[in-house]
Amino acid sequence: MLRGMIQVTFKVPSAESLSRFLMEPRYRKAHLAILGVALLLHLAFHYATYYPPWRTAFGNLPYFRLHVLHEAEFLLIIFYAALVFRLKGGLTAVAITAITSIPFALTPYIFGRSPRPDELRDLVIQVVFILLMGVAISVLYEIVGRERERRLAFAQQVQEAHQLLLVRSRELEALNNLMQTRLNRLYEGLRQAADNEKRQLEELPPGVAKSRFSSFVARLSAILSPEQSR
């Protein structure tokens, strides 16, 4: 029976695939959808007790009234927006958080009672503190992102310079081989000419050989002189 059961395996995504999903522009629509759903679900759970028919059911859930958890949810959404859409996305999430926090700051009036001493002040301080943390997260991640881009650009420049050096090195090596080949051919030609001249001089009388050898040396000097090579 166990053999007939369908086995479901869950593959943990690699860091590379996760980074590609977060950074590549082609996934931006997916991130917008995820952020929209996350905001709606968060607001629905956050303000569930503000709706009288749901007040008792949600209010009795464990830790539901622990507001710091809802604040952490807001910060997580802001961080996600800043991670995907950089500073613009993070600040947009902060602005949405500010707007959607208005009912929280007016909690006493929504529940139909007069605020306790300093209650409105404390609620506003909580909201402002969360907003400042969201702005700080967005700005800090933007700084980190720009520094990462600068380092990547520098690394790319170093790699391009290295590739250029390799190309120039190959070109110089090819030029050196070409010059060496030509010099070898020149040396071989001169050696053969000298050998031929030597054999011919051996068959001539000493006076004629001396005169012809001087002429041969003058011709070689004219060929090898810089002025003649130009």
Q: Are 130 and 101 in contact (CB under 8 A)?
A: yes
**Cα–Cα distance for residue pair 51/184, rounded to 1 Å:** 96
- Could you tell me if 179 and 113 lie in one domain? no
Looking at the structure, tell me whether residues 90 and 197 fall in a common domain. no
Number of domains in the chain: 2
Does residue 152 fall inside a structural domain? no
User: Quick one: what percent of the chain has pLDDT higher than 90?
Assistant: 35
* Predicted confidence band of residue 82 (pLDDT cuts 50, 70, 90): very high
Q: Which amino acid is at 109?
A: Y
Same domain assignment for residues 21 and 135: yes
104 and 185 together in one domain: no
In a domain, 9, yes or no: no
| 94-101 mean pLDDT | 90
Please return the burial class of 105, using the count of CB atoms within 10 Å of its CB with bins 0-12, 13-18 and 19+. Answer: buried
Structural domain contains residue 88: yes
- Write down the pLDDT at residue 55: 67
Residue 52, domain extent? 17-142
> Are residues 175 and 129 located together in one domain of the fold?
no
Least confident of 11-15, 69-73, 151-155: 11-15
Residues 129 and 38 in one domain: yes
Both 194 and 125 in one domain: the answer is: no
- Please determine, for residue 4, whether its predicted confidence score (pLDDT) is greater than 60: no
On whether both 173 and 63 belong to a single domain, the answer is no
Please indicate, yes or no, if residue 158 is contained in any of the structural domains. no
* pLDDT above 80 (res 48): no
Determine contact, residues 83/138, Cβ cutoff 8 Å.
Answer: no
pLDDT greater than 80 at residue 60: no
Question: Does the global pTM surpass 0.95?
Answer: no
Are 176 and 129 contained in the same domain?
A: no
68 with 129, same domain: the answer is yes
| The domain boundary residue, chosen from 98, 124, 142 | 142
Asked if 119 and 179 sit in the same domain, the reply is no
